[in-house]
């Protein structure tokens, strides 16, 4: 039974990553505008995402894709930009 579960999880992970790569290609313009971008496989929108404390509860590494799991919803956040920094500070990174 555990093997079935593992296979299902691996398949699901691959599906999510494939989906995410496609989303990332489409969302480059959002990245260029320096806006945090969040996409859910469920029906959560960004405002509810914030209410659920996902951003506060998880540390997202700047410019690294992260998966945050909250309940049954898998919330995919990627390429978050530190909005507290100025353009010059960001460029020096």
Identify the residue whose tokens are 């410019």.
Answer: 63
Task: Kindly give the pairing relationship between strand 37-40 and strand 66-70.
Answer: unpaired
Token pair, residue 56, equals 């506060």
In order along its 93 residues, the chain shows pLDDT tens digits of 455 556 666 666 666 666 666 665 555 544 455 444 444 333 333 433 443 334 433 333 333 334 444 433 344 443 344 445 555 565 565
Domain assignments of the chain as residue spans, ordered by start: 2-92
Closest alpha carbon to 51 in 79, 75, 80: 75
pLDDT of 4: 59
Q: What is the pTM of this model?
A: 0.21
């Amino acid at each position: 039974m555990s093997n079935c579960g593992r296979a299902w999880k691996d398949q699901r992970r691959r599906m999510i990553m494939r989906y995410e790569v496609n989303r990332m290609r489409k969302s480059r313009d959002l990245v260029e505008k320096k806006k945090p971008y969040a996409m859910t496989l469920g029906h959560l929108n960004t405002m509810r995402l914030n209410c659920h404390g996902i951003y506060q509860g998880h540390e997202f590494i700047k410019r690294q894709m992260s998966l945050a799991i909250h309940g049954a919803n898998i919330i995919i956040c990627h390429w978050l930009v530190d909005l507290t920094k100025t353009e010059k500070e960001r460029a020096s990174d």
